Structure 1
Amino acid sequence: MKHRNPIKSWAEAAPRLIGVAAGREPADLVILDGVWVNVHTREALAGHDIAIADGRFAYCGPDASHCIGENTEVIEAQGLYMVPGLCDAHMHIESGMLTPAQFARAVIPHGTTTMFTDPHEIANVLGLRGVKLMHDEALLQPINIFTQMPSCAPSAPGLETTGHEITPEDVAEAMTWPGIIGLGEMMNFPGVIAGDSKMLAEIAATQNAGKTVGGHYASPDLGPAFHAYAAGGPADDHEGTCEADAMARVRQGMRAMMRLGSAWYDVERQITAITEQGLDPRNFILCTDDSHSGTLVREGHMNRVVTHAIACGCDPLVALQMATINTATHFGLERELGSIAPGRRADVILTSDLRTLPIHGVLARGQPVAVAGEISVDCPHLAWPDDVRATVHLGKHLAAEDFAIAAPEGANRVRARVIGVVENQAPTKALSAELPVADGRVSGDERRDICQIALVERHRGTGGVVNGFVSGFGYRGRMAIASTVAHDSHHMIVVGTDRDMMAAAANRLGEVGGGITVWKDGAELALVELPIAGLMSDAPAEDVAASAERMVHAMADCGCRLNNAYMQHSLLALVVIPELRISDLGLVDVSRFELTDLFEPEGG
């Protein structure tokens, strides 16, 4: 698969770039009288021009009049800031519930011109084939979408079952693909710490290819385990949640990726490593990780992260470095993108204010791609095969009894382990609660905000259902919400207060081929159809966001008041982030990386 509109390499473009800069040849496009935001020197230089040829910057200086010919397009910046296109250093396209083409279409008007994506969601469902489909559609886009080869499917071997597994041989093959930039986040950090041969083989294949290894150390332990993980080769980490985490990572030679997604608010607590502790900001990077389609449509993308960092006290030019040149440098692309400088890809934002970053215009590879918040370029789609739209295999019609939790024989009350949701953070809490027994069945307790959770196997049609309890959503009445977006194994998560509703919600997703559905009092309140791998839609972001908005309102109608509660819902099976999760194999104690019983022993 090749780029639909490939940009010439520097070597191919160099003779013309030199000619334009010298005034011997005319530029394709010149932007006059702007404020050049130079992220190499951290300066904003008024009264400067930039000239573009063959999709790259040829001249950046005080007067580009010598680059203008009869057919040169001229844009009068009239004092607007000329900012490098924004780069998202770590993100999952599938979290937007959109295909790469639709995701690109959604973020281009916000000034994002480069993304480093880890499609490990689709890898869990479709394996290497799914990664290749994402990679191929990424190469068709008018902006730069680089793919990281997923490293961990399953994310924690022995604790979950995926639709497909990723092997070191898969990683080695992917490293030969044109759009692969490195290895996706190494989530199996216990495996790396233990010197697991499979994990180390994947890291070695990546490093042998001269590419970047992504990190994922989701533990507060900064002792020997953290140091062992750093020695294992990951070059970055986005799982930090506090200042100490950020400082520890950069001191070990890793880049600290600070994320602001739809539900992860980790920038404010880490950016003080720069603003108060004075650490070198060139080792810090901004990213989103997971952005809901509604966030993209209503709030923005990387522009949202940059302005948030500024609001947290970061100098605007430092914040822009962390979303441009720092990212490019990290992935070995400093000479290719991430700045407005000769030879680089001509990715530019025009804005009137560096603090609030209104996006007046966007150029990618020297071509206008958005004006005043409206996209002005096509984002081509692949023809997604029919079989990737039929990936929900329940094996049977589910009934309320499948969601019944049998009490230990003779018990009147039980003490159960409960997954505790933490608002705006990925980790959960391992809670414990005494629950009532009626007719031999254990139920939740609405008064204490404890309801049921179930993991329904959907890859192989086994009919398997694992049941447990969760707290923190605030649900009331007879309701259920089901989703085939269930990081990272992407079975089906069902949360509810009523077993009949839970069965109805699960069966509904089996009918439509995946997505999210909310039920209350016997009726469906909202449905978001995600037919591609049960994870994505190829409908426009605005349409998906509208469906998702109805889902959010439906969750609120059921009593939920959490910020971006759906993102929390989708992570309840993520068995690599502490403390307690659910998988198709049972309840998982992530602090110990082992399966655990739903009921605590008497006296325990």
Structure 2
Amino acid sequence: MTYNSEIRRQLAQVALGNLEPDLVITHAQLVNVHTKEIEPDVSVAVKSGFIAYIGKSVPSIKDTTKVIDAHQQYLVPGLIDGHMHVESSMLSVAEFARAVLPFGTTTIFMDPHEMANVFGLEGVALMMHEAEHLPLRVFTTVPSCVPAAPGLEDSGQYLGPNEVHSALNFPRVAGLSEVMDFPGVVNGNPEVLEKIRLTYEKHQVVTGHLPTADDRIIQAYAATGIFSDHESTSREEALAKARRGITVMIREGTAWKDVHECIKIVTEDGIDPHQCLLVTDDVEPATLVQDGHLNVVVRRAIEEGVDALSAIQMATINTARYFHVEDWLGSIAPGHVADMLLMPDLLNMRPSVVFAGGEIVAENGQLIAEITAPSYPDYVKKSVHLPRAVTAQDFFVKSESCSQGEVTVRAIGVNNNSALTHVYTSTARVEEGVILPSPDNDLVYAAVLERHHGSGQIGRGFVHGFGIQRGAVASTVGHDSHNLMVMGVNPTDMAMAANALAQCGGGMVAVLDQTILALVSLPIAGLMAEESAQVMAEKLERLTEAWRRLGCTLHAPYMTFSLIALPVIPELRLSNRGLVDVMSMTLVPVEVF
């Protein structure tokens, strides 16, 4: 933050009683995240968007001062999400701000690596420009792995050390985003280590991504200078990382529910809560509309046995400290930005009033701030490039061992509410050299079509665990390269689904018997739409209903589907180049010989 001498002078004069504040909140119970206590019956004075004074009374109040009686509600620092992807909400940054501000999220550290995979630094800059004048405070971490697994997949763009170096100089950049190529990190990949070095050179933070409990890998990863991770899914994994100095970002989003297990390192193992942050990672519109945002994660931590003040620290001051902005953000203290929440109840974590920069932006769950944002240019809405129309034959998986009979295949096994997959092996029939899906055994076709350069490259395989019995689904939301993903039983329906998304500029679709059951258009890079969370939630509900008609019973199935192409989370994934064994970072055949 730029130091403004005049504003600082004004703050000091308000504190001394020589200058009237702009805003005073009286009769509040102050949640002090520095001392972990509640100060009763406190008044807080605000000037020029910053907190100037905290005490029992404010003597310099004038007629021009706005006074709000808190009536003994709790005054809590604005919540800070330390790791999240706006694109996962399928909303533009402005629409995301509209959705989360009423729930008390006043700051986010966004990792725009989804947009970066499609449009590179230009796409990142467009999102940052959109965020520039929002009441939501938006920091950016520079995408570190674009593509996530070079040599195993193809994205729309490439960000090497030179691009990272340029982006680290963008305004409101906080550091390097999750370094997902953990094999490259621990094995000393020069390009990965150079990106880390450049970030350290700027005195910024390198954030991590380490989906393993292996102690040697954890220590090797930390030894390179990466001291956070948000991928822990078990108590044991989170504890192993915390003990080696890694800040554990405990995640609770729409599909990934890790608070129940990982918070046990605080409630049962007695780990200092300062070692933990609460984050959302990926949240979809229905969650934002029906439940909330980071306030839900804080509430979940409290429900699991964390005391309310520690849980609030994990979503405020702990995050600010991790990103080195605690001298002006993350707490209610003199000289800090006036991002504050009035809360009737700390257990429910639903704010009655939300202040951002000393201005009321939401009341009683309703946004009252005016939010405007620039529109995206037309070329961003034309991001699906295929060399020709897709046909049913494009999805046939050819056997390498026989033309008729049975073979054993390895398939991607998915798990409900988990980002992890497992290797699932099954027998499958072969007819005329084509390996057939077997919906009775929950074995269906999957394909990833390269959609950025029109290369025509297609990776093919099988998936187990979705329960699909008929039809097809497709999506251009396919972490992290965001190629065109298709899954189904009927190749003709699969072709129709793929072609529908190519025609509308990207999104998600479900097809049955050559009829589109539901289509969610995502014209911005095939990832986002400039529509409200409410509208998008309704469209996604229709899509979920369509998935159910096809036989799927998973929670948020399209989010789980979006991860089967991500070759940096174990164990097995599918890219446009083929089936990827994540632990060995190699391409493997579909057939088991």
TM over 0.5: yes
Task: State the one-letter code of the partner of 1:376.
Answer: I
Q: Please give the secondary structure, in 2, of the residue aligned with 1:24.
A: coil
Pairing 1:519–2:511 present: yes
Question: What is the deviation of 1:379?
Answer: 2.5
Task: State the one-letter code of the partner of 2:32.
Answer: N
Pairing 1:504–2:483 present: no
In structure 1, the residue matched to 2:40 is: 46
Pairing 1:321–2:313 present: yes
In structure 2, the residue matched to 1:302 is: 294
In structure 2, the residue matched to 1:457 is: 450
- The answer as to whether partners of 2:457 and 2:577 remain within 8 angstroms in 1 is no
1:559-598 correspondence runs (5 A): 559-598=551-590
**How far apart, CA to CA, are the structure 2 residues paired with 1:110 and 1:95?**
18
**How far apart, CA to CA, are the structure 2 residues paired with 1:378 and 1:429?**
46
1:383-398 correspondence runs (5 A): 383-398=375-390
Question: What is the deviation of 1:235?
Answer: 2.3
Q: 1:364 aligned to 338, 356, 359, which one?
A: 356
Indicate the larger mover: 375-384 or 164-173.
Answer: 375-384
- The answer as to whether partners of 2:448 and 2:485 remain within 8 angstroms in 1 is yes
Question: What is the deviation of 1:411?
Answer: 4.0
Pairing 1:172–2:195 present: no
- The answer as to whether partners of 2:82 and 2:109 remain within 8 angstroms in 1 is yes
**How far apart, CA to CA, are the structure 2 residues paired with 1:37 and 1:8?**
27
Question: What is the deviation of 1:10?
Answer: 5.3
Question: What is the deviation of 1:8?
Answer: 7.4
Q: Please give the secondary structure, in 2, of the residue aligned with 1:511.
A: helix
**How far apart, CA to CA, are the structure 1 residues paired with 2:6 and 2:137?**
18
Deviations 1:386-442 (A, max 9, x none): 111100011100111111112233341110111000111111011110001123321
**How far apart, CA to CA, are the structure 1 residues paired with 2:179 and 2:56?**
45
**How far apart, CA to CA, are the structure 1 residues paired with 2:104 and 2:519?**
30
Q: Please give the secondary structure, in 2, of the residue aligned with 1:35.
A: strand
Q: 2:367 aligned to 367, 370, 375, which one?
A: 375
- The answer as to whether partners of 1:21 and 1:67 remain within 8 angstroms in 2 is no
In structure 2, the residue matched to 1:28 is: 22
In structure 1, the residue matched to 2:144 is: 151
**How far apart, CA to CA, are the structure 2 residues paired with 1:429 and 1:247?**
23
**How far apart, CA to CA, are the structure 2 residues paired with 1:269 and 1:10?**
44
**How far apart, CA to CA, are the structure 2 residues paired with 1:387 and 1:296?**
29
In structure 2, the residue matched to 1:86 is: 79
1:1-12 correspondence runs (5 A): 9=3, 11-12=5-6
How many residues align? The count is 592
Task: State the one-letter code of the partner of 1:86.
Answer: L
**How far apart, CA to CA, are the structure 2 residues paired with 1:260 and 1:149?**
22
Q: 1:432 aligned to 421, 425, 434, which one?
A: 425
- The answer as to whether partners of 1:219 and 1:577 remain within 8 angstroms in 2 is no
For normalisation by structure 1, the TM-score amounts to 0.96
In structure 1, the residue matched to 2:346 is: 354
Q: Please give the secondary structure, in 2, of the residue aligned with 1:412.
A: strand
**How far apart, CA to CA, are the structure 1 residues paired with 2:351 and 2:558?**
29
Q: 1:62 aligned to 56, 65, 72, which one?
A: 56
Q: Please give the secondary structure, in 1, of the residue aligned with 2:456.
A: coil
Question: What is the deviation of 1:259?
Answer: 0.2
Deviations 1:441-498 (A, max 9, x none): 2111111111111101100112222211001111123x11100000001001111110
Question: What is the deviation of 1:175?
Answer: 1.3
**How far apart, CA to CA, are the structure 2 residues paired with 1:73 and 1:490?**
48
Question: What is the deviation of 1:140?
Answer: 2.0
**How far apart, CA to CA, are the structure 1 residues paired with 2:309 and 2:525?**
40
Task: State the one-letter code of the partner of 1:586.
Answer: G
Task: State the one-letter code of the partner of 1:414.
Answer: V
Pairing 1:551–2:574 present: no
Deviations 1:43-85 (A, max 9, x none): 1122111110010100112222x13111001111101111100
Pairing 1:131–2:132 present: no
Q: Please give the secondary structure, in 2, of the residue aligned with 1:317.
A: helix
- The answer as to whether partners of 1:143 and 1:365 remain within 8 angstroms in 2 is no
Task: State the one-letter code of the partner of 1:364.
Answer: A
1:187-206 correspondence runs (5 A): 187-206=180-199
Indicate the larger mover: 138-147 or 414-423.
Answer: 138-147
Q: Please give the secondary structure, in 2, of the residue aligned with 1:46.
A: strand
Pairing 1:338–2:295 present: no
Q: Please give the secondary structure, in 1, of the residue aligned with 2:97.
A: helix
Pairing 1:226–2:218 present: yes
**How far apart, CA to CA, are the structure 1 residues paired with 2:117 and 2:266?**
37
**How far apart, CA to CA, are the structure 1 residues paired with 2:43 and 2:60?**
10
- The answer as to whether partners of 1:575 and 1:582 remain within 8 angstroms in 2 is yes
Q: Please give the secondary structure, in 1, of the residue aligned with 2:68.
A: strand
In structure 1, the residue matched to 2:251 is: 259
Provide closer, same or farther for how the CA distance between residues 12 and 93 of structure 1 changes in structure 2, counting only shifts above 3 A.
Answer: farther
**How far apart, CA to CA, are the structure 2 residues paired with 1:534 and 1:336?**
37
**How far apart, CA to CA, are the structure 2 residues paired with 1:378 and 1:195?**
48
Task: State the one-letter code of the partner of 1:584.
Answer: N
- The answer as to whether partners of 1:8 and 1:54 remain within 8 angstroms in 2 is no
In structure 2, the residue matched to 1:3 is: none
Indicate the larger mover: 579-588 or 247-256.
Answer: 247-256
Q: 1:484 aligned to 476, 479, 484, which one?
A: 476
Q: 2:97 aligned to 101, 104, 111, which one?
A: 104
Task: State the one-letter code of the partner of 2:235.
Answer: E
Pairing 1:277–2:269 present: yes
- The answer as to whether partners of 1:60 and 1:341 remain within 8 angstroms in 2 is yes
In structure 2, the residue matched to 1:4 is: none
Q: 2:9 aligned to 3, 6, 15, which one?
A: 15
Deviations 1:374-393 (A, max 9, x none): 11112222231111110001
In structure 1, the residue matched to 2:460 is: 467
1:441-452 correspondence runs (5 A): 441-452=434-445
Deviations 1:189-212 (A, max 9, x none): 111111111111100111110100
**How far apart, CA to CA, are the structure 2 residues paired with 1:214 and 1:499?**
41
In structure 2, the residue matched to 1:142 is: 135
**How far apart, CA to CA, are the structure 2 residues paired with 1:246 and 1:597?**
33
In structure 2, the residue matched to 1:290 is: 282
**How far apart, CA to CA, are the structure 1 residues paired with 2:308 and 2:571?**
36
- The answer as to whether partners of 1:426 and 1:577 remain within 8 angstroms in 2 is yes
Deviations 1:496-528 (A, max 9, x none): 110000000000000000000111122111111
Deviations 1:225-252 (A, max 9, x none): 2211111111210011112222222222
Q: Please give the secondary structure, in 2, of the residue aligned with 1:269.
A: helix
**How far apart, CA to CA, are the structure 2 residues paired with 1:522 and 1:383?**
34
Q: 1:76 aligned to 59, 64, 69, which one?
A: 69
- The answer as to whether partners of 1:328 and 1:338 remain within 8 angstroms in 2 is yes
Extract unaligned runs of 5+ from structure 2: none
Q: Please give the secondary structure, in 1, of the residue aligned with 2:118.
A: helix
**How far apart, CA to CA, are the structure 2 residues paired with 1:587 and 1:335?**
47
Deviations 1:510-558 (A, max 9, x none): 0000000111122111111100100011111211111111111111121
Structure 1 stretches of 4+ moved >6 Å: none
Pairing 1:416–2:409 present: yes
Deviations 1:293-320 (A, max 9, x none): 1111111100110001111111111100
**How far apart, CA to CA, are the structure 1 residues paired with 2:520 and 2:51?**
42
- The answer as to whether partners of 2:479 and 2:566 remain within 8 angstroms in 1 is yes
**How far apart, CA to CA, are the structure 1 residues paired with 2:133 and 2:508?**
28
